[in-house]
Structure 1
Amino acid sequence: MAVQGLDLPKLQAYVDEHVPGTGTLTAELLHGGRSNLTYRLTDGTSTWVLRRPPLGGLTPSAHDMKREYTVVAALHGHGVPVAKPVLQSEDPEIIGAPFAVVEFVPGRTIATRDQLAALSDTEVHDCAYALVDALAALHGVDPAAVGLGAFGKPAGYLGRQVRRWYDQWTRVSTRPLPDVEALHGWLAEHTPEESGASIVHGDFRIDNAIVGETDASDVRALVDWEMSTLGDPLSDLALHVVYSDPAFDPVLAGGAAATSPRLPGADDLVARYTKAAGREIVNWEFYLALAYFKIAVIAEGIHARFVAGQTVGEGFETVGSAVPALAAAGVRTVT
């Protein structure tokens, strides 16, 4: 049976060549994704996860399959929970786009408030703090020691982020939004020196992790690494905090676990991170503003694909409404 966005016969031939002994593959779209498309593959014995860019990618740097696979392969076995790498290809002739395949990690993803409702308050807090500990562990990895010394350029990272996401805005924007322009102007004028250098995830939130079926504090794998690089670790922390703002909720079609008031508040998360990572929090308003700016641009890119009929799956019709609210929240952060 045909699966949108996946040329299964060509994929079968490629997997047969690179993973000997594989049986006949079947594929299932797990979710259309607000960024990349994710599929479950199985031959009846083994199970894998394949990710590819969206059908209409307008923000190329946000859908880098090679980048995602490289960082997962490097981190596997080095104290950061990630899936085991299997294979990756940049050849668009195989399935129509670059893709990466990793082993399937059994567990659960807590993406909605309904899923969060299955946990007690204690379990919710234990899960949230375990995720922050995992983020601190990631930031504690020496990039050179795991072969990622050339994975990015930490110096000047913040300035490049401001320029890059504004460039993305000019590519994907479907309407003029003065708050986006104002936020960009403030960020450009107030860019500080980096607080440090580490591997950054770039999209860290509760639903980008797989946790245990019965123990939500058992973080088994961090996923969605396509925006990872070497950069400022506080940008990761700020993004994680900003994802808790209800303004983000429409991006995930409402009812997102990330925005639940049951999760620990921003101050508690920052305190937990500070203790786990041993890092000082400086220029915090800049990092928060940058996080709002980045999420607003990403949301507009998703909205642009939806308007162009290039999304796969449901729940995209609400995303556009989040962009003005996120930009406004970012402006409020610095005024």
Structure 2
Amino acid sequence: MSDDLFPVPTITAFLDEHGIGTGPVRASRVGEGHSNLTYWVERDDVTVVLRRGPRPPLPKSTHDMVRETRIQRTLAAHGVPVPQILAVEEDEARIGVPFYVSVWLDGVVITDEVPAHLDDEAGRRTTVEAAVDALVALHAVDVTAPDVAGLGRPEGYLGRQVERFRGLWSVNSQREVAGIHELGDWLAEHLPATQRHAVVHGDFRIGNLMYAADAPARVRAILDWEMATLGDPLADVGYLLATYATPDSVSTPMELTPVTRQPGYPGTDDIAKRYAAATGLDLGDLRWYEVLALWKACIFLEAMHTRWLAGERPGDAFAPTLTDGVPLLAEVALARTRA
């Protein structure tokens, strides 16, 4: 393939400059890429992954591949399972946006199919348990270590999140969606106290984990670090639970791994109990964090929808679904505030 998103001659020259393989470049998209785009790239003697932002123009302070690279390199030094970064291009002039290249890992990402080696009672249970344990380990990283401390400012994280996203709605949207402002008010009025600080992934869900290609279930890598920072670890727990599909949950645009609706997968209560037992944190305010996750999703998905309306996401099959999908997410979030 070769197009404006993946110009093969330019990518080939970059790989040659960094000594990453020889021979012609063959590439294909990995995943649906609703935000940043990931490509499988093969040459005669190497297979790698290239990750880049979407087609410009980009919203300010989003899709920062250089920052994402720095976060992964920092966390790798602290034992967090992330793909090894091989090279990064900071100059957006090369292909229109910065990008990076990492090693290709042999594993599986679970979305709408259950991997055969995990398709039994033990495999389904341990798939989710391994995800929770990976999150616990991430949140155990020492945020006072000098290199980690430079990744963000954890004090006041929750308040800043609420205020920042309240301001983004008018920037991201050209319409009114029932409940968006009410949700922002509710979150501000019920702001919980942060119990401790941690590395927050920001998009932690089953579909952003790569599992080993054989049993038992174990996480080989945590993917997609675009929104990572330092803050309240329960933000990740709330996000995981709010986007986790169960037999009785409403299907929303954030349900990206629907297989967990099937029999044998743990429920959200099981996930919360396992995390609480491992960390000792009080999850009494967990509903607030779930609402935060759904409300933020409304706002960043609305940005995709608006860009699609403006013709900036041509060929995007996901963005049109957000015409109804964002209002549905807001409705689900409002229902949780009233539960």
Q: Answer yes or no: same fold by TM over 0.5.
A: yes
Residue type at the aligned position of 2:234: L
Tell me the residue number matched to 1:11.
11
1:102 offset after TM fit, Å? Answer: 1.1
Tell me the residue number matched to 2:228.
228
Distance of aligned partners of 1:11 and 1:116 in 2 relative to their CA distance in 1, 3 Å threshold: closer
Tell me the residue number matched to 1:81.
81
Matched residues in 1 for 2:65 and 2:98: separation? Answer: 6
* Contact map agreement 1:108 1:213 (CA 8 A) in 2: yes
* Contact map agreement 1:251 1:299 (CA 8 A) in 2: no
| Structure with the higher helix share, 1 or 2 | 1
Tell me the residue number matched to 2:323.
320
- Is the aligned partner of 1:182 residue 2:177? no
Tell me the residue number matched to 1:263.
265
Distance of aligned partners of 1:176 and 1:261 in 2 relative to their CA distance in 1, 3 Å threshold: farther
- Is the aligned partner of 1:205 residue 2:205? yes
1:168 offset after TM fit, Å? Answer: 2.6
Distance of aligned partners of 1:47 and 1:95 in 2 relative to their CA distance in 1, 3 Å threshold: same
- Is the aligned partner of 1:98 residue 2:98? yes
More RCO (CA 8 Å, sep 6+): 1
Distance of aligned partners of 1:122 and 1:229 in 2 relative to their CA distance in 1, 3 Å threshold: same
Matched residues in 2 for 1:279 and 1:155: separation? Answer: 18
Comparing 189-198 with 308-317, greater Cα deviation is found at: 308-317
Give the share of equivalent positions with the same residue, in percent. 37
* Contact map agreement 1:128 1:206 (CA 8 A) in 2: yes
- Is the aligned partner of 1:299 residue 2:298? no
Tell me the residue number matched to 1:37.
37
Unaligned runs of 5+ in 2: none
Q: Counterpart of 1:230 in 2: which secondary structure?
A: strand
Comparing 280-289 with 131-140, greater Cα deviation is found at: 280-289
Distance of aligned partners of 1:170 and 1:91 in 2 relative to their CA distance in 1, 3 Å threshold: same
Q: How many matched pairs?
A: 333
Matched residues in 2 for 1:128 and 1:20: separation? Answer: 35
1:179 offset after TM fit, Å? Answer: 0.6
Tell me the residue number matched to 1:141.
141
Residue type at the aligned position of 2:102: V
Matched residues in 1 for 2:44 and 2:278: separation? Answer: 41
1:291 offset after TM fit, Å? Answer: 1.0
Distance of aligned partners of 1:295 and 1:57 in 2 relative to their CA distance in 1, 3 Å threshold: farther
Unaligned runs of 5+ in 1: none
Q: Counterpart of 2:28 in 1: which secondary structure?
A: strand
Residue type at the aligned position of 1:188: A
- Is the aligned partner of 1:160 residue 2:160? yes
Residue type at the aligned position of 1:5: L
Distance of aligned partners of 1:330 and 1:218 in 2 relative to their CA distance in 1, 3 Å threshold: same
Q: Deviations over 1:142-188 (max 9, x none)?
A: 13437121111100100111122223322222420121110011112
Matched residues in 2 for 1:42 and 1:83: separation? Answer: 16
Distance of aligned partners of 1:326 and 1:20 in 2 relative to their CA distance in 1, 3 Å threshold: closer
